[in-house]
Amino acid sequence: MIVLGIESTAHTFGCGIVSGKKGECKILANEKASFVTEEGGIHPSKAADHHFENAEEVVKRAVETAGIKSKEIEAVAFSQGPGLGPCLKVGAVTARAISLALDKPLIGVNHCIAHVEIGKALTNSKNPIVCYASGANTQIIGFENGRYRVYGETLDTGIGNLLDTYGRSQGIGFPAGPVLDEMYFKGKKLVELPYSVKGMDLVFSGLLTAAKNKAKTEKKEDMAYSLLHNAFAMLTEITERALAHTEKKEVLLTGGVAASKALQQMMTKMCEERNAECFVPERSVCVDNAAMIAWLGLVMRENKLETSLGESIVLPKQRTDDVDAVWVKYADFAK
């Protein structure tokens, strides 16, 4: 089966095409255009204008790269939520148009679950605790009782936004994560900063304010080391607690921040100490991308799911645990 997917939750407009069956994911195309500003901030309606202007070209490029005829596409998936309303609407309208033109079913998918499913498919992890760490989202997710449950999450900003906002205050370009990650390994002193874990949830705003203040007097490498150390240790702590509570044996890191070597190192060490395995998919499928939307669409279509035009309204606040993940089979848990 070949499925085309559209991603447009935030700054990326993407079109991905995948083929495969029974968990074997083959990415035929994963094209995108990203809305980037000098300051790194995102204005929803300006990002939506960008997506609208680029949609046709990105879709054409994906079909060309995949080397397929449009009639070979068997379903059209799109990010239905969560995300920025104006951006989501461009993706939904594009997907509806393609679905109608090709007379193929439409499938609305949850963006966060798409990160999880493509990560599972490409790393061959079966039943992981997922640490989804990106600009806007930070969630610890695991499958239980028919749905992907959120065991812990940020109560304010996403961890990627924390790094970018701090980076912006220090004159580091967008995205700041890779630069801070490099500096992390040069830092020598641990500067005292807040560590805010609230039960299974995280709060980053106090850490950000304190880091900006201390950066006035401390070395930049020491600040990067201390900021990343605290933020990633907070994330690792709640991931470890979710592992302990559920007795799962795998961790899957995904989202743009999963590319951080510092985070990978910390998470891998924790997993080793618990006899668990840590999986990290390659960066192009960790960041926001449309291949993951196409892949979840394909998995849902294999399970006879589809979204009628009337149900295809965008859901900016849709939660990971709103979705019945009926496609997750008990066979997935056999190792």
In the complex, the residues that contact Fe ion under the rule CB under 5 A are 134, 288
Q: How far is the CB of 209 from Fe ion (least distance, A)?
A: 26
Q: Quick one: which of 55, 82, 95 has its CA closest to 138?
A: 82
Residue 12 or 125 with smaller CB distance to Fe ion: 12
7 phi-psi bin (left φ>0, alpha ψ -120 to 50, beta other): beta
> What is the C-alpha to C-alpha distance for residues 112 and 255, in angstroms, rounded to an integer?
9
- Prior bond of 82 cis (ω within 30°): yes
User: Which ranges constitute the DSSP H helices of the chain?
Assistant: 44-66, 85-102, 111-123, 159-169, 177-184, 205-214, 220-246, 261-273, 283-286, 291-302
Q: How far is the CB of 8 from Fe ion (least distance, A)?
A: 11
**CB of 87 closer than 8 Å to CB of 136:** no
Residue 15's contacts (CB-CB under 8 Å, 6 or more residues apart) are 4, 5, 6, 7, 29, 31, 32, 58, 59, 61, 62, 290
Q: How far is the CB of 10 from Fe ion (least distance, A)?
A: 7
Token pair, residue 61, equals 């490029």
Strand partners, 258: none
Place of tokens 């599972």: 120
Q: How far is the CB of 136 from Fe ion (least distance, A)?
A: 7
Whats the size of the chain, residue-wise? 335
Residue 8 or 54 with smaller CB distance to Fe ion: 8
Q: How far is the CB of 84 from Fe ion (least distance, A)?
A: 12
Q: How far is the CB of 288 from Fe ion (least distance, A)?
A: 4
Residue 134 or 320 with smaller CB distance to Fe ion: 134
Residue 187 or 255 with smaller CB distance to Fe ion: 255
Q: How far is the CB of 296 from Fe ion (least distance, A)?
A: 12
Torsions phi, psi for 268 (to 5 deg)? -65, -40
Residue 222 or 288 with smaller CB distance to Fe ion: 288
> What is the C-alpha to C-alpha distance for residues 55 and 33, in angstroms, rounded to an integer?
8
Residue 134 or 226 with smaller CB distance to Fe ion: 134
Residue 172 or 286 with smaller CB distance to Fe ion: 286
